[in-house]
Structure 1
Amino acid sequence: MSDKPKRPHHVYTLLVEVGRKDGDGLPEHASGAALMCYASGVDEAEAVRETVALMKQAGLAPLDVTGYGSLKDREAEGHDISDEERALMQRARDENSVVVAQTTAFYEDSKAQ
């Protein structure tokens, strides 16, 4: 057993872009998607690693991750954060997990939609 103190976890807002992969569950004609996530971690790098690992485990093909910082970072930058968003962040913290708040599919051309 370790006597090492637990580092506090924060919740980070991440935008994950995914490409296509067989069985990924994205709409048939989509070329990929963007997923807005709230991820718990001791730092943003850990939150990104955990989120990418989870996406791969779920059968998605993560291509890029953009981090928007922790709740405190976003508040300091003046972001307008709704009660619903705060509740999802709290859920990610409570469950030490990744919460996907929104998925937006991408389409190559307007006919496919």
Structure 2
Amino acid sequence: MTDEKPKKHKRTQQVFTLLVEVGRKDGDGLPDGSTGAALMCYAAGVDEDEAVRETVALLKHADLAPLEVTGYGTLQERLAEGHDISDEEKDLMDRALAENSVVVAQTTTFYQDA
């Protein structure tokens, strides 16, 4: 009988592209008169579910109100689908992976039409 523990498979971190729609909340820092925003994020995780959980937690901690998250996959998945990905975007993905973090790359603020 051996005391060896089963080997854990190290799951590799990947970066996922996520589009997060946020609503309004007191102290959210969004411009006056806006109704919410869309945030393009690059998030590290062992799978997309983890990347989404981490992103939502981070945005809530920043006093934002996440409403919906749309996943666009990893760099490899996006390239396979024919997405045009700039070097700047790849650099931001590399940063998210190196820092095991969430990078908010772009914010588009929404306004209600009058």
Shorter-chain TM-score bucket reads over 0.9
Aligned to 1:94: 98
Instruction: State the TM-score, normalized to the length of structure 1.
Output: 0.93
> Identity over the aligned pairs, expressed in percent?
74
| Ranges of 4+ aligned residues in structure 1 off by more than 4 Å | none
List aligned pairs for 1:12-27, cutoff 5 A: 12-27=16-31
RMSD: 1.3
Structure possessing the higher radius of gyration over alpha carbons = 2
User: What is the distance in 1 between the residues matched to 2:113 and 2:30?
Assistant: 16
| Map of 2:80 onto structure 1 | 76
SS in 1 for 2:85: coil
**Residue aligning to 2:68:** 64
- Name the residue aligned to 2:3: none
Question: Corresponding residue for 2:113?
Answer: 109
Tell me how far 1:4 sits from its aligned partner: 2.6
Gaps of 5+ in 1: none
Q: Does 1:54 align with 2:58?
A: yes
Compute the TM-score of the two structures, normalised by the length of structure 2: 0.92
C-alpha separation in 2, matches of 1:18 and 1:92: 21
1:41-68 CA deviation, whole Å, 9 max, x = no partner?
Answer: 0000110000000000000000000000
